[in-house]
Structure 1
């Protein structure tokens, strides 16, 4: 069986391999997730692989169990801003049927338009949920049928699994704890 480190070194694993890695990791408590986390892909040939990075996704910020920013992006000026995931709603039904544009140009256009999608409001919360036989911290989106379940790789790293209702294949991603917490959104700073 491949380990998390093996998968990172290889650069891509199958969904079955990713699920086996995920299932083998320790669970996390809600408080463990508090703070700012930098995100990156964990490729499994999912249609979303590489999309978030193309659009300058920074990661997630968990200010409090009731106040979570699931989509934090880097602005064109180097600051950060949170995006309301409801803007992604039209794409959710098409994720597995239509390729998501992943060009640098489209990513730059999105980055320059971030002000249209930004929010200071929380768009998710943290709860303990049971998933695949274990209870672990889960980010529950406020207005979308999505749960992101987290498992601990080490004290600074978690493997996340996005469970979207109706999506055949889960989407995997990695979060690494930021050394210095982001002090609120610095949109367009």
Structure 2
């Protein structure tokens, strides 16, 4: 019996609640295919893997909801839930843009913050899911999160 491909292994971690190690998440991330910048366009819901990384608690405190990619030049990198549960841009994190960047040996779409030394790197899981790994100056390595296409509830 063969083991699942990296895409299914990634989805299995998500469906089991996201508890994994940084090493396991990185090993899967490194096997995933790149995505072009155009793939990112749209609104995404964010969640992370529970690896013990300090960014997890920071994003929980912010009530992180995801990201909004309007174009390659216009990105709201941190969307949060406000008091009414609406998705809103967190202005203090500024904006970002999308570029293709080589990271861990693969050229793929990445989001660079305009005012922070942080780059989020993306890989393909399926048409509605992206694997993500944050890289930043002064930020501990190994923060893994994932984005799922936002699909608002139909009224």
TM-score w.r.t. length of structure 1: 0.71
Larger-gyration structure (1/2): 1
Moved >3 Å (runs of 4+): none
Is the 2:97–2:112 contact (alpha carbons within 8 Å) kept by the matching residues of 1? yes
Is the 1:39–1:59 contact (alpha carbons within 8 Å) kept by the matching residues of 2? yes
Q: Which residue does 2:70 correspond to in 1?
A: 63
TM-score w.r.t. length of structure 2: 0.85
Is the 1:71–1:85 contact (alpha carbons within 8 Å) kept by the matching residues of 2? no
Q: Which residue does 1:42 correspond to in 2?
A: 49
Equivalents in 2 of 1:73, 1:163: separation in Å?
21
The number of residue pairs the alignment matches comes to: 145
1:6 partnered with 2:12: yes
Equivalents in 2 of 1:15, 1:124: separation in Å?
25
Where 1:169 maps in the other structure, the secondary structure is coil
Q: Which residue does 1:186 correspond to in 2?
A: none
Where 2:54 maps in the other structure, the secondary structure is coil
CA RMSD of aligned residues (A): 1.9
Q: Which residue does 1:166 correspond to in 2?
A: 138
Q: Which residue does 2:60 correspond to in 1?
A: 53
Instruction: Tell me by how many angstroms 1:10 deviates.
Output: 6.1
Gaps of 5+ in 1: 87-121, 181-189
Instruction: Tell me by how many angstroms 1:85 deviates.
Output: 4.4
